[in-house]
Amino acid sequence: MKRTHVFLILLMFCSSFIAAQDTKEEYQIFVKKLIENVKKNNKEALADGVVYPLKREYPIPDINNKTDFIKRYDEIFDTDLKNEIIKSNPAKDWFDMGLRGVMLNHGIIWLDIDGRLTAINYQSKFETDLKNKLITVQKKELDPSIAFFQTPICILETAKFKIRIDNLGNNNYRFASWSIDKKMTEKPDLVINSGKLIVEGIGGNHQYEFKKDKNTYECAIIVLGEKNSPPARLTIYQGSKKILVQDAKIAPR
């Protein structure tokens, strides 16, 4: 089966659990229900048990609601994925990960402690092809100076800046920024290569760090934060001193 780096960060979190526990009996009830619904292609029932938005690999759009899930169900649940779910043993192939819920095998499917579907860490051929098409479109829309990368990561927007982060290959991350009123078809105001990914704990928070001269540019993606936390934040350091902190939103795909 094809698993991509789409959910690399999540899988890194999974690997931090040295010993997962067998699934509790009450969780097995949720798992059996999921297996039965997948076996019957009961899209309505499955859609009712999803925590939205259901993330997909950028730049593929997330699944934002029940209607969207039903419409795109066959694009995600191909034969390989359905077989892995249907043939799984609720007691042996699903693992109790505490408050994070239960996962199938190495995290291809995640359910929360209430039995709701929270993640599908799998990419069908349809989605792989769609991702490649969308990446090609993005490259055509960028200034030629940065129209090359292996994988797009995200686009952040603060009050003053528009920031694009791409993986150039081999986890070499690139930072490109424009003033907020500019378009990405224009040449970036600042480009920094050789950035690195830093993962914080097991909650999902991570950041991309870039250094240029005496400055460090930190782009934090906040998955698990306080109630009013922004989805992302830009922090710029000059040496050890913070010279700018701006909340950021993750731009639509």
Q: What is the pLDDT of residue 16?
A: 43
Say how far apart CA 110 and CA 124 lie, in whole Å. Answer: 17
pLDDT tens string for the chain (253 positions)?
Answer: 333 333 444 444 444 443 445 567 888 999 999 999 999 999 999 999 999 999 999 999 999 999 999 999 999 999 999 999 999 999 999 999 888 899 999 899 999 999 999 999 999 999 999 999 999 999 999 999 999 999 999 999 999 999 999 999 999 999 999 999 999 999 999 999 999 999 986 667 999 999 999 999 999 999 877 778 899 999 999 999 999 999 999 987 6
Sheet of 94-96, strands arranged across: 21-22, 94-96, 102-104, 109-111, 117-120
Q: From its phi and psi, is residue 101 left (phi > 0), alpha (psi between -120 and 50) or beta? A: left
Q: What is the pLDDT of residue 26?
A: 83
Q: Give 1-38 pLDDT, tens digit per residue.
A: 333 333 444 444 444 443 445 567 888 999 999 999 99
Q: Give 81-96 pLDDT, tens digit per residue.
A: 999 999 999 999 999 9
- Residue ranges covered by each domain of the chain: 5-125, 142-250
